[in-house]
Amino acid sequence: MTGRHAARHARITFLGTSSGAPTLARGLPSLALRRGPELFLFDCGEGTQLQFRKAGLRPGRLSRVFISHLHGDHVLGLPGFLMSLQLGGRATPLEIHGPPGIAALIQAVLRLVEAHIGYELRLFEHGAAETVARGDGYQIECRPLDHRAFCLGYALVEAPVPGALDVARARALGVPDGPMMGRLKRGESVTLSSGATVEPAQVVAPARRGLRVAYCTDTRPSDEAIALARDADLLIHEATFAHDRAEDAHAKGHCTAREAAEIATRAGARQLALTHISPRYGDPAPLLSEAQAVFPNTVIAADLMALEVTA
């Protein structure tokens, strides 16, 4: 994670925000994250490929897919999505990350429906907390959550952006233009011909933090979700039920809206987006009110809603 091209900005597009079953207003779980030239897909419920097109997303930008777990509402849209990419003439490789079993599921379905995928599928399975992917200035981390099935939460974590070099200040201290300036910018001290030493802290501004976006669904309240969301600019967290159904939520491996807000508070997140809403809530206003009472900067995701996130 070099940080040379840290974007410090991302666009999140919610493609499906229901849980278990679609409704007329909400499709099954999926969201797209655009960072710079790359596009990532998190979960892929049925109907994702249609929502992808409605959102105006470009398939050619898609480089990585991250699946949380193997329950059907989160993964059964993936085989059709992969076949549509083939029909669209995709030639570049596609990475798919998920829990143990994701490779067997994809391979079995594609074999049974006799689908020919001409581009390279790179399949990765993860069973513990780890860094699952790296790119220019960022990495994707995962941690196991607390669901009925083995389930992964993810976080996009950008490298800090180096602070700017105050060239005028460096010159005033006697640093000549040239390689010494570059060394200070890289965080190295330099010794001048006079014998004096100039430290980076004297002439380089503090590094700026990079972007952090966490995605946590499906899960009961979890310390691992808090770890993924630590100081996040945006936490996307499930809120399947209102808190009057907390016992039912926990039995099914889920959180309430209040609990999602408590997680955002404990993690020090800047913004919370609630998703994975039970079909019982035709009007999600009670969930929003419940969460905002604990964490005011909360929104409820809707299908095709986009959020701009900046570090």
Cβ–Cβ under 8 Å, residues 45 and 69: no
State the catalytic residue, choosing from 43, 73, 218, 233. Answer: 73
Query: Active-site residue 73, yes or no?
Result: yes
> Which structure tokens are listed for 174?
């006697």
Q: Where are the beta strands (DSSP E) in the chain?
A: 9-16, 30-35, 38-42, 62-66, 94-98, 121-125, 130-135, 138-144, 152-158, 190-191, 197-198, 212-216, 234-238, 272-275, 298-300, 306-310
Burial class (CB in 10 A: 0-12, 13-18, 19+), 138: buried
Pairing assessment for the beta strands 298-300 and 190-191 based on DSSP bridges: unpaired
Instruction: State the Rg of the chain over Cα.
Output: 22
Q: Which residues are catalytic?
A: 73
